[in-house]
Amino acid sequence: MSGMASDPNNSSQEEYIPHYLQKEDPFASKLSREADIIAGFYLTIIGILSTLGNGYVIFMSSKRKKKLRPAEIMTVNLAVCDLGISVVGKPFSIISFFSHRWMFGWMGCRWYGWAGFFFGCGSLITMTAVSLDRYLKICHLSYGTWLKRHHAFICLAIIWAYATFWATVPFAGVGNYAPEPFGTSCTLDWWLAQASVAGQVFVLSILFFCLLFPTAVIVFSYVKIILKVKSSTKEVAHYDTRIQNSHILEMKLTKVAMLICAGFLIAWIPYAVVSVWSAFGRPDSVPIQFSVIPTLLAKSAAMYNPIIYQVIDCKFACCRLGGLKAKSSSKKSR
């Protein structure tokens, strides 16, 4: 009877064991070989398109680097982050999916997790800075006019320092990087929140400073911009041509930034939801087959930005050509 009475106490003191410590080989794929091959081909296509697209944006920007506006400098930094994810991270996961297991051990797992979080955090903070730049340029002209190129470079230094700090914090003993439940990829150790209060503090800090706060700033900035544009469209129509052209360019940059932010958040929010549920929900309640889909969607985020940039740029160029043709025809009619 005494042994039976002690069982509840033992079970209550029993610590949570994460999935990567429950099995002998945490890096063996938990998916079927066919699913791994499909995921491998998917990531290969995403990686090639992302590398070519972001490489093209960086190359074209380097040809006119002295003429880049502050918002365009931020766009180039975003392309650098996305290219880093594609070149540094994706080959690890592609090889592992085709091999039906993670091939690079714990050291490679931590490196892959660090690189993915570093460049992902850099992308989101860059978009936060872009949204603030657009907000000041559109809604507060008195502040926006003094934002020059050297301010953009100072901002870049802050962005890289911010991303480096949060990506390196897990190595200081307050967090970790660990394999995903499906075995062929690695990420932040969200499951630490199930094990201790310190793990919960770590996960909540990451969520607030690297997702919720930047996202709130982005949403606030673009909501204010939309409201401002609706109220000032008629006013701009009365200005001279030079001010109208400047306004059109600012709006073009704003559209690029809004679409890029939307694409990034759409790609990453499902993964964030699954990660939060893994951290604070019922242990191991997320099916392994389901957890891989948000991960693959998040890895596609680096592909969207150059496509968005080029589509808006081509549309802007067509509008500009149309305007030039209209001016030349009006001159001829005179």
Three-class HEC string of 4-15: HHHHHHHHHHCC
- Mean local confidence (pLDDT), 253-272: 83
Which residues are registered as beta bridge partners of 187?
A: 178
Task: Look at 68-82, 194-208, 238-252, 253-267 and tell me which has the smallest mean pLDDT.
Answer: 238-252
Task: Look at 7-21, 90-104, 191-205, 287-301 and tell me which has the smallest mean pLDDT.
Answer: 7-21
Phi, psi of 238 (to 5 degrees): -90, -5
- Mean local confidence (pLDDT), 55-61: 88
Looking at residue 287, its pLDDT comes to 83
Looking at residue 311, its pLDDT comes to 60
Looking at residue 18, its pLDDT comes to 81
- Mean local confidence (pLDDT), 65-87: 87
Q: Is the dihedral angle over the CA atoms 128, 134, 137, 139 positive or is it negative?
A: negative
* AA identity, residue 152: A
Residue 210 above 70 pLDDT?
yes
Show the domains of the chain with their CATH numbers: 33-331 (1.20.1070.10)
Distance of CA 130 to the CA centre of its chain: 13
Distance CA 313, CA 52 (A): 17
Looking at residue 234, its pLDDT comes to 53
Reported as a pLDDT band with limits 50, 70 and 90, residue 333 is very low
Residue 158 above 70 pLDDT?
yes
Cβ atoms within 10 Å of 231's Cβ, excluding its own: 9
Reported as a pLDDT band with limits 50, 70 and 90, residue 330 is very low
- Residue 232 tokens read as 């000032």
Contacts of 190 (CB under 8 A, 6+ apart): 203, 275, 276, 278, 279
Distance set, CA 150 to CA 24, 134, 220 (Å): 53, 17, 25
**Residues of the chain above pLDDT 90, percent:** 40
Looking at residue 14, its pLDDT comes to 53
Residue 149 above 50 pLDDT?
yes
Q: Are 90 and 47 in contact (CB under 8 A)?
A: yes
Looking at residue 89, its pLDDT comes to 87
Looking at residue 11, its pLDDT comes to 40
Which residues are registered as beta bridge partners of 28?
A: 101
Q: Are 128 and 73 in contact (CB under 8 A)?
A: no
For residues 118, 120, 124, 129, the Cα torsion angle rounded to the nearest 10 degrees is: 40
Distance CA 73, CA 273 (A): 31
- Residue 217 tokens read as 């700033």
- Mean local confidence (pLDDT), 117-132: 92
Q: Are 271 and 295 in contact (CB under 8 A)?
A: yes
Residue 317 above 90 pLDDT?
no
Give the range with max mean pLDDT: 116-125, 188-197, 290-299: 116-125
Average pLDDT, the chain: 81
- Mean local confidence (pLDDT), 44-68: 89
Looking at residue 226, its pLDDT comes to 82
Per-residue pLDDT tens digits for 213-241 = 999 999 898 888 888 877 665 554 455 55
Reported as a pLDDT band with limits 50, 70 and 90, residue 144 is low
Residue 314 above 60 pLDDT?
no
Of residues 98, 101, 131, the one with CA closest to residue 256: 131
Q: Are 24 and 281 in contact (CB under 8 A)?
A: no
- Mean local confidence (pLDDT), 138-164: 84
Reported as a pLDDT band with limits 50, 70 and 90, residue 182 is very high
Task: Look at 4-8, 20-24, 64-68 and tell me which has the smallest mean pLDDT.
Answer: 4-8
Q: Are 115 and 186 in contact (CB under 8 A)?
A: no
Contacts of 224 (CB under 8 A, 6+ apart): 135, 139
Distance CA 133, CA 253 (A): 10
Of residues 46, 47, 48, 80, the one with CA closest to residue 61: 80
